[in-house]
Amino acid sequence: MSEPVIVCDRLAVRLGGVQVLNGLTLSVFQGDFLGIVGPNGGGKTTLLRVILGLQRPTQGSVRVFGGEPGSQPKRTGYVPQRLFFDRDFPLSVGGLVLMGRLSRRRLFRPYGDRDRHAVDEALRTVGLQDLRDRQVGALSGGELQRALIARALAGEPELLLLDEPTASIDPAMKSSVYDLLETLRGSMTIVMVSHDTGIITKHVTRITCLNCTLDMHEEGSSLRRTPIGDIYDYPVDAILHNRPKSEGSES
């Protein structure tokens, strides 16, 4: 039986008087690829921020790797939804990805061969090895997104959290990001927030719909028979889980 990586118990978050998350109970197990879909403002990003330790829950508890959220940065990788930065910030792709090693770096110790090797590896994984010396501001949206994934991978995380990694890129790039995640599947626990209700189901082992509260859908069940129509106020693609379960998701 695999260890739960994330355990949320009756989690509730209020932000500025608005109930963003309410009564959320969720376990994510080692090797899971959990997809979180739901409308804007449904609390998806807030849930990731709670798991990262950037946002304190108002009620309930969250344990990540059995401890406080944010207490084990070495084991956690994070891909933000968008990155706001000056286009002329003097930083190369290699330098950006090297920042992923910060969580593993000891203070006052310079980066070493081990770090550079991890950066090479991460750049190869996302297919950006030829753009290592390119300035970050000169990247296209899809390249930047892959660079951010590489930054998270460079830290060699056991848990990868992605916040709408395909939100700002074109369909061709989307499928390349999904192909990339497919190669990572099983080697680490992945939690991904997404709007791509159609494509996401081909890849994830479990999917949840988050709109303040939670609907969990195991593989094999169809969302059509669930209240997803109530959650989204626009038509939703049929979502059917028909992948064989990966070993890690047995619990």
Give whole-number Cα distances, 75 to 27, 58, 78, 152, 216, in Å. 17, 25, 10, 10, 25
> At closest approach, how far in Å is the CB of 227 from other proteins?
33
Please, which residue, 74 or 124, has the CB nearer to other proteins?
Answer: 74
CA dihedral 201, 204, 209, 212 (to 10 degrees): -150
| Binding-residue pattern over the window 20 to 59 for other proteins, x denoting contact by CB under 8 A | --------------------------------xxx-----
One-letter amino acid identity for 184? L
Contact (Cβ atoms closer than 8 angstroms) between residue 190 and residue 29: no
- What is the footprint of other proteins within residues 121-160 (CB under 8 A)? 135, 151, 155
- What is the footprint of other proteins within residues 186-215 (CB under 8 A)? none
Q: How many CB atoms lie within 10 A of CB 227?
A: 10
Q: Show Cβ contacts of residue 238 under 8 Å, excluding neighbours closer than 6 positions.
A: 222, 223, 224
Contact (Cβ atoms closer than 8 angstroms) between residue 6 and residue 64: yes
Contact (Cβ atoms closer than 8 angstroms) between residue 29 and residue 4: yes
Query: Is residue 81 involved in binding other proteins (CB under 8 A)?
Result: no
Measured at the CA of 167, the angle between CA 222 and CA 40, to 5 degrees, comes to 65
Secondary structure of 135-157 in the HEC alphabet?
EHHHCCHHHHHHHHHHHHHHCCC
Among 103, 166, 197, 249, binds other proteins (CB under 8 A): 103
Please, which residue, 28 or 223, has the CB nearer to other proteins?
Answer: 28
Q: Which stretch binds other proteins (CB under 8 A): 71-79, 188-196, 202-210, 243-251?
A: 71-79
Query: Is residue 73 involved in binding other proteins (CB under 8 A)?
Result: yes
Among 90, 130, 234, 235, binds other proteins (CB under 8 A): 90
Among 27, 63, 99, 199, binds other proteins (CB under 8 A): 99
Please, which residue, 161 or 209, has the CB nearer to other proteins?
Answer: 161
Query: Is residue 15 involved in binding other proteins (CB under 8 A)?
Result: no
Q: Where along the sequence are the contacts to other proteins (CB under 8 A)?
A: 52-54, 70, 73-74, 76, 78, 80, 83, 85-86, 88-92, 95-96, 99-100, 102-103, 105, 107-108, 111, 135, 151, 155
